[in-house]
Structure 1
Amino acid sequence: MFSLIQLQADTIANAASNVIIEKIATNNEISVLQFILKGGFFLIPISILLFYTFYLIVERYLYIHRVSKIDALLMRDVRDNLHSGKLDMARSIAERSNTASGNIIKEGILIIGRPIIEIESNMDRAADIEIGEMEKHLGQLGLIAGIAPTLGFIGTISGVIKIFYSISVTEDISIGNISGGLYEKMISSGAGLLVGIIAYSAYHLLNGKIDNFALKIQKQILEFVNIIQKA
């Protein structure tokens, strides 16, 4: 009889302790948004940089993807019209393509009749302009890649200074007091590094697309010059 009573008491005690533990765990759980907001003031400029980074990535990608298209049929149509002596038609075809390569070929068609070196030089200048348009604002991504991690680091340092100031005033050097404040302040460093990685990666990937276009357009310029020489 005594054993039965003891077993029931242990069961009730275990159940009660489990309820208390679950209640404590539930109370300690926080949402992702609440966790992020613990990062402090410096998360505001980092968040602004994040949204601006995404805007730049989307805007530049769409623009570069649209103008850097190389139409394989464009050069064939231009060549056929040049061989037939239809310069206006060849220029019209290049304009209708609405791409960077079309604009560059058009610049070459406009000065047909001049020395080859002038035509090639004019097309190279046009290519430089088009590439410059593609690279517009990409420098800002490179700047963000450097600024965002720095802002995060400053936010963490600022938080650490406040923690040690609080310790000097309250003389409370408990692990909970230090680690609790420190993990909150390190959120800004993590956020800054994340934004920096996104901006850095996008900067180099978009520049890679531009470099690929530059190589292809040089091949087209060479092909255009060869067409003129054979015409």
Structure 2
Amino acid sequence: MLPIIVCSIIAMAIVAERLWTLRRPRIIPQHLVAQVWHQLKKGKLDNAQLQQIKSSSPLGRILAAGLVNAHHERTVMLESIEDAGRHEVHGLERYLNMLGTIAAISPLLGLLGTVIGMIKVFGAIQLQGLGNTGALAGGISEALVTTAAGLVVAIPALMAYRYLRRHVDGLVVDMEQEALKLVEAIHGQRERGREMAVEAVG
């Protein structure tokens, strides 16, 4: 039972920490791309502003990686965003593997406890015979408690793991879309400027 109790405490701590850390406003601040684009158009995006964006959120760090390479070609900017995105995804998925492991091993720990308990019960039968059925029933029920405890820990842990994994996947997709908006805004405007220059020369 002790390993199962430890697993339950760790699982609750991970779920609470991830729910707090993975809040959407903290990961993807509302209107961040619009604010960055507004500052960029006004020419107010200096190093201090860039560091502020970088420290604000995971999305801010992805956008900052793209802005550093905004003067390069579109592919270079996208590659820098993808590299930063991979690093941020790793941070978003922190502790989730441990939560999944707890969900997987808790029933096995419960089953192990039951098997050990049943071995003790059969050992008692061998020594005392089947005369004391009350003691045998009590021993069997105690052995089965570990399986129930393992399942009680594993089922919520598995549900939380699936939910958090899905939540992270959704955040990743939304961050990619927000970053692409900035890329298209910067390079779209650059392309329009080139077209206008060509038309003026023509």
TM-score per shorter chain, which class? 0.7 to 0.9
Identity of aligned residues (%): 28
Check 1:57–1:46 CA distance in 2 against 1; reply closer, same or farther (3 A cut): same
* Aligned with residue 164 of structure 2, among 200, 206, 212: 206
TM-score by length of 1: 0.75
Q: Indicate conservation of the 8 Å contact 1:152/1:191, yes or no.
A: yes
Over aligned residue pairs, what C-alpha RMSD do you find? 1.9
SS in 2 for 1:230: helix
Alignment TM-score, normalising by the size of structure 2: 0.85
Whole-Å separation in 1 of the counterparts to 2:79 and 2:113: 51
Q: Tell me the CA shift for residue 162 of structure 1.
A: 1.0
Alignment partner of 1:102 is 2:102: no
Q: Deviations over 1:139-181 (max 9, x none)?
A: 1111111111111101111111111111111112554333221
Q: 1:56-135 to 2 correspondence within 5 Å?
A: 56-65=14-23, 69-88=27-46, 91=50, 94-95=53-54, 98-135=56-93
Instruction: Select 1:156's aligned residue among 96, 100, 114.
Output: 114
Code of the residue aligned with 2:59 in structure 1: it is S
Superposed displacement of residue 72, structure 1 = 2.9
Distance 1:160 1:136 in 2: 38
Matched ranges for 1:219-230 at <5 A: 219-230=177-188
Q: How many residues align?
A: 188
Structure 1 unpaired stretches of 5+? 1-42
- The one-letter code matched in structure 2 to 1:209 is H
Radius of gyration: which is bigger? Answer: 1
Query: Unaligned stretches of 5+ in structure 2?
Result: 190-202
CA contact (8 A) 2:24 2:171 kept: no
